[in-house]
Chain A
Amino acid sequence: MSRIVQPPVFDGDEVTATGLNNRFTQFSQAGALNATNLRDAAVDLPQMNTTSKFMMLNSAQVNLGTESFDLSAPRTLASYSGATFPAPAPVLDGAGVSTHLGPLGWTLTSGEILRVYWNLNVSPNGASTTNWRVAGNGGTVLPVRGGGTVIVADSGHAWLAWLQWDITSAALANWVPVYGQSDFQRNFTGALYGEQLNQTQATTVIPPWLDTITQVREGEVNTTLDAKRVGWRGVSGAYYYTVPGAPITVWGIRVVLAGLAHAYHIGNVNYFAWDPAIADAAITLSYTSGNLMALHHTTG
């Protein structure tokens, strides 16, 4: 309701100084103007409150990894070869200290969103091992022109990077995968440890090699294989989270790495599972520097 409560002036009304003054001084009241008193397009930036955050509630950014501009001193992660899967490796700086966001103390409630963006320079190594040219375990069998077969990589192996957060305390001692993400540690069938793809909402896939046949004709190939080292490249990830229920407090966010995994399709479900059989001392993932940022803002 408008705060202008004075009735209109009618013919025959007595006009007094007090009455006139009251009509104008009503507009000097604090906290009373509303839609009835302002025209369309009347609200602009000067009217917006500067003392409290309205849209962008929190933001943070951190450099990831180790700075090695000439790529001479990267950090290197070994491929995993055990029967079960340990905790993934967080991205570290040159001194071996975890690079992450936190402690943050951001409390997310309904109507708010957490957005996370990151990128990291990586170099998968070990293309020369070619121990992945095995039928049914990383290799695809192709017919050779003139007879016989050859095995080329199925391009199903990958290093995996994903997000973890700490929603317990500022101590940052309880890292878990973010909502909708797993740590790929479930023994879902037989000897396979991993997770189905509906739990990979914050996962980035890094191809470990590029294996090709040099000639293809009429469904047949030659026997010249070409295993290429992927080389240094930037990889990135993005993630969004809105609170489905009770508020949570995000204390830390980080990127973790592990490998090698392979894609599986079992019982009409797609999975990523670790492939320790393919591990080799030469199959590693090197990384240098990157960026991790997080935004916490309202959605309307």
Chain B
Amino acid sequence: MAYTPPQTFVAGTPLEAADILDNCDALRIYLHEDVLSSDLQATRWVQTRHIQPPQVDPYSGLQHGVTGFQGGQMGGGNLSRLTFATRFLTGNAIAGVVPSTWQPIPTTSFRVNIRRSCTMIFHYWMDIESGPDTATGVPYGIASDDRIYYITPYISNTSAPLKVIGQVGVNSIDGFTATFPLGADVQYTMNRGWQQRDGSYLYNATAGTNVTVGLCSYSQIDRVALINWSIALEVFYL
């Protein structure tokens, strides 16, 4: 709120040091904490040093400042932090079974406290390989060649995954050779089970809310590995 001097001086009344100090203290507080945008000169004068510096959270990789959030994290660095999706938590490839709640992919999310209604953009990238999953028989009703997985962003909880924009991938159809030299029939870079993909999602968040945004999965394949991945967040308050 605008500055209002707590003491008004009247001619003929004794001048007290405490009264002047009162006004000075109130002025100091106003200039430090209570200045409104309407109190500021309209022409540009603000420089970077005048702006409250952002707070940096090294764990999430985000900085939170006057204009919003920005930052990100990745699965690389000193340690390889690959993560997974699996059918054992999402319907187990049983024909017709698609759980309403998908599984969050570990470590691929942000949780932020929104101070003002804003525009959020969540970016993600992954280097991903899947299968081969050749399990057959009851209860699996989906042929190995037809098994897929979806990875998609979610907002706040995985009971409402953004299925429409989810990115699909397939089971690798080359398995492992049983004769010498043993190993994969075809290296992963040459079969369809290895892909890279990326995406972005826009979300408008309300002031005073805690928002979680991340990746979740639905899989018909036993093992889907996000070998390398990264996520980034942009939040615009202004």
Interface residues of A (CB under 8 A from B): 15-18, 20-21, 24-25, 27-35, 37-50, 53-56, 59-61, 63, 67, 69, 71, 117, 119, 121, 210, 212, 214, 226, 228-236, 238, 288-291, 293, 295, 297
12 A-B pairs, CB-CB below 8 angstroms?
Answer: A31-B38, A35-B47, A38-B31, A55-B236, A56-B236, A63-B164, A117-B123, A117-B200, A226-B186, A233-B170, A233-B195, A291-B201
Question: Once the chains bind, are B191 and A61 in contact (CB under 8 Å)?
Answer: no
Question: Once the chains bind, are B32 and A39 in contact (CB under 8 Å)?
Answer: yes
Residues in chain B near residue A55, CB distance under 8 A: 67, 236, 238
User: Which one of B3, B10, B51, B165 contacts A41 once the chains associate, using CB atoms below 8 Å?
Assistant: B51
Residues in chain A near residue B52, CB distance under 8 A: 41-45
Residues in chain A near residue B46, CB distance under 8 A: 35, 43
Query: CB-nearest residue of chain B relative to A65?
Result: B164
User: Which one of B15, B199, B236 contacts A291 once the chains associate, using CB atoms below 8 Å?
Assistant: B199
Annotate B28-46 by CB proximity to A: 1 below 8 A, 0 otherwise. Answer: 0011100111111110011
Question: Once the chains bind, are B53 and A41 in contact (CB under 8 Å)?
Answer: yes
Q: Which positions 90-119 of chain B face chain A at CB distance < 8 Å?
A: 98, 115-116, 119
CB proximity of B170 to chain A, nearest CB, Å = 4
CA A34 – CA B41 in complex, angstroms?
6
Known A-B contacts A33-B40, A41-B49; the reply to A293 vs B164 at CB < 8 A is no
Q: Which positions 19-33 of chain B face chain A at CB distance < 8 Å?
A: 20, 23, 27, 30-32
Residues in chain A near residue B13, CB distance under 8 A: 17
CA A229 – CA B145 in complex, angstroms?
11
CA A115 – CA B238 in complex, angstroms?
17
Question: Once the chains bind, are B50 and A41 in contact (CB under 8 Å)?
Answer: yes
**Is the CB of B135 closer than 8 A to any CB of chain A?**
no
**Is the CB of B8 closer than 8 A to any CB of chain A?**
yes
> Total contacts A to B, CB within 8 angstroms?
185
Residues in chain B near residue A290, CB distance under 8 A: 165, 167
Question: Once the chains bind, are B11 and A212 in contact (CB under 8 Å)?
Answer: no
Question: Once the chains bind, are B5 and A21 in contact (CB under 8 Å)?
Answer: yes
CA A229 – CA B170 in complex, angstroms?
11
Residues in chain B near residue A20, CB distance under 8 A: 9, 15, 20
User: Which one of B5, B39, B164, B198 contacts A30 once the chains associate, using CB atoms below 8 Å?
Assistant: B39
Question: Once the chains bind, are B192 and A228 in contact (CB under 8 Å)?
Answer: yes
Known A-B contacts A31-B40, A119-B165, A233-B169; the reply to A17 vs B9 at CB < 8 A is yes
Annotate B184-216 by CB proximity to A: 1 below 8 A, 0 otherwise. Answer: 001000111001011111101000000000000
CA A234 – CA B166 in complex, angstroms?
8
Residues in chain B near residue A117, CB distance under 8 A: 123, 199-200
Residues in chain A near residue B167, CB distance under 8 A: 119, 121, 233-234, 290
CA A235 – CA B37 in complex, angstroms?
45
Residues in chain A near residue B9, CB distance under 8 A: 17-18, 20-21
Query: CB-nearest residue of chain A relative to B149?
Result: A232
Question: Once the chains bind, are B169 and A232 in contact (CB under 8 Å)?
Answer: yes
User: Which one of A34, A53, A59, A233 contacts B202 once the chains associate, using CB atoms below 8 Å?
Assistant: A59
Known A-B contacts A35-B45, A212-B190; the reply to A44 vs B197 at CB < 8 A is no
Question: Once the chains bind, are B2 and A30 in contact (CB under 8 Å)?
Answer: yes
CA A252 – CA B48 in complex, angstroms?
36
Known A-B contacts A28-B2, A31-B40, A32-B39; the reply to A59 vs B51 at CB < 8 A is no
CA A230 – CA B168 in complex, angstroms?
12
Question: Once the chains bind, are A50 and B168 in contact (CB under 8 Å)?
Answer: no
**Is the CB of B155 closer than 8 A to any CB of chain A?**
no
